[in-house]
Amino acid sequence: MRRLLPVTDMTEPETAGREWSLDELADAYAYPELPSAGAAGSGGEAGDGAWLRANMVSSLDGAGQHDGRSQPLSSEEDMRIFGTLRALADVVVVGAETVRLEGYRPARAREAFAARREAAGQGPAPAIAVVSASLNLDFSLPLFTEPLVPTLVLTGAAAPAERVAAARAAGAEVLVAGDGAGVEPARARAVLAERGLRRQLTEGGPRLLGQFVAADALDELCLTVSPTMTSGAAQRIAGGPAVAVPTRFQVASVLEQDGFLFTRYRRI
């Protein structure tokens, strides 16, 4: 069964038993109208004009991955939503460890979203922005050698100079978003917004998401609840230091198919 479960009455029979089109998914996951830069906004540095959403998957017992990868928890519909969220974004922000473990490739242009992106003033595909303090990355990977849009590397001012040079030699654009070796989450979203990349999507990993949460820089969470149990000691979807007071989110929508719940929460 496949259906949208609205927050109000949790029933919408006309959607049951059929597959949502990509246009319907794009409408359901559309970014909110963004404030202009300098206006008061939620999350990150005040007035950066950005909206940062995360897309993650979790098992029923809280695992954010299995054997180091999220794919075993996923499904075909989860991947359709994954692709839709990418197609709506200006930039996809991802941690270096996730790039290494998940075999990240460049985002591709998709004909189904071409008109929508053009109308929104977007390029053919989102940029990928890799967050790394050490820049310990394989710059011979397609992510760096074959991107439709140049791959970005977010790092700190004290990052190793030889690795910064290697990134630039590979064609990546290096952006400084921290005074030390590492990246400051609020600075990262502000630096990207300054380049016009305001519709932001992070796909983790857990350490990066935890940093955004701790910095109060996350506006929205799109969480797939997988009907699986993994046990073991797998990491949660967000890791790192605990926040002093839990950040409250409210349900924006819930979509269900074959036991998978595709939830969307916005920060209160």
pLDDT value at residue 27: 95
129-151 pLDDT, tens digit per residue, is: 999 999 999 999 999 999 999 99
pLDDT greater at residue 221 or residue 43: 221
- SS3 of the chain: the string is CEEEECCCCCCCHHHCCCCCCHHHHHHHCCCCCCCCCCCCCCCCCCCCCCEEEEEEEEECCCCCCECCECHHHCCHHHHHHHHHHHHHCCEEEEEHHHHHHHCCCCCCCCHHHHHHHHHCCCCCCCEEEEECCCCCCCCCCHHHHCCCCCCEEEECCCCCHHHHHHHHHCCCEEEECCCCCCCCHHHHHHHHHHCCCCEEEECCCHHHHHHHHHCCCCCEEEEEEECCCCCCCCCCCCCCCCCCCCCCEEEEEEEEECCEEEEEEEEC
163-214 pLDDT, tens digit per residue, is: 999 999 999 999 999 999 899 999 999 999 999 999 999 998 899 999 999 9
